[in-house]
Amino acid sequence: MSADRVANLQRAMQLIADAVDELPAECRDLAGNALLNITAEAVAQDVGCIEAGRIFARLADLLSRGLQPPSSEAITLTSFDA
């Protein structure tokens, strides 16, 4: 992933995190689930369902080992941005 692309991804993540903070209190607890649904759909559209499944399986593996991706740092789960 190019340095510009990483910087733009990190900026997008920060803007999204800031927007979640601005949600009404009763919606904040639902933000993660809402973002996951939006993300799953976007990734499947970008790379196809099979590759999306691989990406999410890799993410599941990281999470099951207690390695939560930081919201401030981009990680690569495959050759695609994720």
Q: What is the mean pLDDT of residues 27-55?
A: 93
So what's the pLDDT on residue 74?
67
Confidence of residue 82 (pLDDT cuts 50, 70, 90): very low
Rounded CA-CA distance 29/35 in Å is: 11
Alpha helices in 1-82 (DSSP H): 3-21, 25-47, 49-64
- Looking at residue 13, what is its pLDDT? 87
All structural domains of the chain with their residue ranges: 3-64
**Which tens digit of pLDDT belongs to each residue from 46-66?**
999 999 999 999 889 888 999
